[in-house]
Amino acid sequence: MSATAPQPRELRRAPLADQAAELLLARIRAGEWELGAKLPGETTLAPQLGVGRSTVREAIRQLAGRGVLASRQGAGVFVTALDAREDWDAVLARAGIVAVIEARAAIEAESAALAAQRRTPADLRAMRRALEHRAERRSAIPEHVDADTAFHRAIVAAAHNPILLELFDGFTPRVRQAMIDMLRIRTAFGSDADHAVHAELSEAIAERDAERAAALSRDHLSSLKEGLA
């Protein structure tokens, strides 16, 4: 017995929902609905978009998955963002090394200050182990970048802020190659002076000096950025 062929309507449904989602998103971007505003009901949106109510529902589900809309039981559909979140990889593919360093500074300087306030003895042991490992990985650029990343992650973990750690973990693996490329541009890497800055940062955190820790982190990354000029 041959399989039943899918109906043409089913074949068209996904593309129509995609188009309806983009039309809704364009209207949100244009300012038709403000942040927090309630969207009209399906019976109103469907003829406006030229699609059926089921397609409107699918379009709303798509935009909810992209963080633009939220359905609240018994209340309706509300605007939760004025544009769709862009994929991390797409953003980072366009970003240059300077943008990467600036983003690192935003995350790591605040993490260093918080780590100085919140670090535990276990955090300090993890940082010192990572610092020692970093000292041993100064002959090859990829290994040095990985060891350096592990050290800085130990600091972010010591901040005990799950959002900062999530940002760091989502960000750094994707920019690994950019950091390797940056060190290849520079004439030297892994110097004693550079390692001393990292040791000083670890010590500032151990001494609970939040202001100094943040400044050391920020200054270190600023020097990397200036080295590209």
Contact 95, 116 (CB under 8 A): no
- Which of the residue ranges 57-71, 106-120, 152-166 would you say has the lowest mean pLDDT? 57-71
- 222 and 192 in a single domain? The answer is yes
> What ranges make up the beta strands (E) of 6-135?
69-72, 76-79
pLDDT band at 89 (very low <50, low <70, confident <90, very high): low
pLDDT attached to residue 87: 62
**Which is more confidently placed, 188 or 14?**
188
pLDDT for the residue numbered 99: 82
The whole-number average pLDDT for the span 118-142 is 94
pLDDT of residue 229: 59
Round to whole Å and give the CA distance between 29 and 22.
10
Higher pLDDT, 80 or 10: 80
Reported as a single tens digit per residue, the pLDDT across 179-199 is: 888 788 765 677 888 899 999
Q: State yes or no: pLDDT of 6 exceeds 50.
A: no
Higher pLDDT, 96 or 18: 18
Within a domain: 2? no
The answer to whether residues 210 and 120 belong to one domain is: yes
Does 104 share its domain with 146?
yes
Q: What is the mean pLDDT of residues 50-60?
A: 92
Domain count, the chain: 2
- 24: containing domain: 8-79
72 pLDDT above the threshold of 60: yes
Q: Which of 33, 53, 79 is the last residue of a domain?
A: 79
Q: Would you state the structure tokens that stand for residue 65, as one six-digit string?
A: 């998955």
More confident position, 222 or 88: 222
pLDDT at 106: 92
**For residue 90, what pLDDT is reported?**
63
pLDDT band at 86 (very low <50, low <70, confident <90, very high): low
Domain boundary pick from 33, 54, 79: 79
Let me know whether 92 and 74 are in one domain: no
Residues 59 and 162 in one domain: no
Please give, one letter per residue, the 3-state secondary structure of 112-178.
HHHHHHHCCHHHHHHHHHHHHHHHHCCCCHHHHHHHHHHHHHHHHHHCCCHHHHHHHHHHHHHHHHH
39: CATH: 1.10.10.10
For the CA atoms of 10, 15, 16, 21, what is the dihedral angle to 10 degrees?
130
Give the chain's mean pLDDT. Answer: 86
Report pTM: 0.67
Q: 132 and 166: one domain?
A: yes
